[in-house]
A and B are shown apart, each in its own frame.
Chain A
Amino acid sequence: MTYVGDIWRSRELLYNLTNREVRGKYRRTALGQLWSLANPVAAIVIYTFIFSFIFRLPAQVGDPSGIDNYAMWLVCGLLPWLFFNRVVSSGTDALVSNAGLIQKVYFPRIMLPLSLANATFFTWLLEMAVLVVALSFLGSYVLPWIPLVAVFMVVFALFSVGLAMIFSIINVYFRDLAYLLTIVLQFWFYLTPILYPVELVKTQSDALGGLAGSPITLLDLYTLNPVEGFIEIFRNLLYDNRAPDMTTVLIAVGWTLVALGGGLWMYARREKELAELL
């Protein structure tokens, strides 16, 4: 708990480090912060072309919102994923890439992954704002759900940063992790129902039945993925305009507590020896 107190006392540092990331990133570019929207837009165009036009995925109709638009359906899941991806991959490098700073000044090291996550959160917020406007135009009654969306954005951010904290420490001991992670994140992306609906997995799972004679189905394994629940929650709120399933919420919050608790514990335990290991 004293560790959480340290973090609170360093909140101005967190603010300044976040500022460093946000402002330093798009310096000397003509479009500035708009660049952060370029990646998601490109991904949306490509995926919509492939999966909606070429592969002809079944139409995703929002219940009860009634929207039928693959691109929007995709974005509601893709934006949280892109945020998660950026936080985890840049957060993993947070300690190693700031080795020079860690070896020269004392400050709570946890500020490094936290500030990266904060800066990324800021970008995500912009993207989500654009999404809400677009959804409203297309007839989604999303505005009343915004407070809940905001709450789950914070929860998901805490989950992501918790994971990033754990990985950043492990990466100091095993530098392979950063490279391994890029591959893991690729698998993770396709194993999460972002491009395709989870119903398609269910169909296959039902066809297979219990795996190797056990009552465990493919779907059970598939839904072990913590990000799956979060994606479902965001889609429920933004695209369908309904409250998410309580079990899904509880599991998501549980994962968040585990990731965050693990991250804080790692830092409290390992922080002191970081300077000599880098």
Chain B
Amino acid sequence: MSDWAVRVSDVSKKFRLYHERNQTLKSAILRGRTSRHEDFWALEGISFDVQEGHTHGLIGSNGSGKSTLLKCLAKIYWPTQGTVEYRGRMASLLEVGSGFHLELSGRENIYLNGSILGMSKKEIDGKFDAIVDFSGVERFLDQPVKNYSSGMYVRLGFSIAIHVNPDILVVDEVLSVGDEEFQRKCFQKFREFRQQGRTIIVVSHSMSVMEDLCDQVSWISSGHLLGTGTAQEMVAKYQASIE
């Protein structure tokens, strides 16, 4: 058995559902600073290991908590209880083009976005051509990104993110970007990732994508882990449960 790359141990996440949220000073003073809220556990006691080099999928219906879990994995939310441990560098891709500045050119945004995603300037310099190539926007590189078509925008964002080359990549449903040709390139890139022994954690609603990409799949329902197993097995179980 190979080593784990990501270990999720007993992760729970509590949100507060506010009935009255005193976000203004007036209400805080008038009502004595207390807010009325209910605790809502979006995740409860989730544990699983992701093996190094595996592609791990998360499935579940809307509101099951898989996005919350993904955000915990991406260090955007912090678990109320439990821990997430990593072996290697983690990068997340929850939205393409986060932090793009619309007035800046594609070139400037590559550096900006790259460093937000954790790349050093040297790294970006080295990968610059590959990023531009992959995105296919070289003709418009010195145009402000606000003039980009939505497809170009997304392709550039995705291209930067995929070139971060992390040991562990956490991806939300962003695979469905661009036209068919670009999607093929993306899947090609994911397969390269796997061949290089990198670990991927992915959320998708497309069961065929899940079966195609993933070694292991975890099925989450109302904040609980219903099981982790091979992609075929878990997808079959999940589909049986909806019918």
- A residues contacting B by CB (< 8 A) are 12-13, 15-17, 19-20, 23-24, 27-28, 100-107, 173-177, 180, 272-273, 275-276
Contacts and interface: CB of A to CB of B under 8 A. Distances in A.
A27 B25 contact: no
Contact of A176 (B26, B94, B117, B120): B26
A176 B24 CA distance: 6
25 contacts: A12-B120, A16-B111, A19-B112, A20-B101, A20-B104, A23-B108, A24-B104, A27-B144, A101-B98, A101-B99, A104-B94, A104-B95, A104-B98, A105-B92, A105-B98, A105-B116, A106-B76, A107-B116, A173-B23, A174-B23, A176-B25, A177-B25, A275-B76, A276-B15, A276-B77
B78 interface: yes
B94 to A, nearest CB: 5
Contact of B28 (A100, A174, A180, A276): A174
B115 interface: yes
Nearest to A180: B25
Contacts of A173: 23
Interface of B: 15, 23-26, 28, 71, 74-78, 92, 94-95, 98-99, 101, 103-104, 108, 111-112, 115-118, 120-121, 144
Contacts of B28: 174
Nearest to B170: A106
A23 B104 contact: yes
Nearest to A101: B99
A173 to B, nearest CB: 7
A278 to B, nearest CB: 11
B101 A106 contact: no
The 8 A-B residue pairs whose C-beta atoms are closest, nearest first, are A106-B75, A27-B103, A104-B98, A272-B78, A16-B115, A104-B95, A13-B115, A176-B25
Given A23-B104, A24-B103, A104-B94, A17 B112 contact: yes
Contacts of B98: 100-101, 104-105
Given A24-B103, A105-B99, A174-B24, 6 more contacts: A13-B115, A16-B115, A17-B112, A17-B115, A273-B78, A275-B76
A106 B23 contact: no
A37 to B, nearest CB: 21
Contacts of B71: 275
Contacts of A24: 101, 103-104
Contacts of B99: 101, 105
B94 A275 contact: no
A28 B103 contact: yes
Contacts of A175: 23-24
A19 B108 CA distance: 9
A169 B61 CA distance: 34
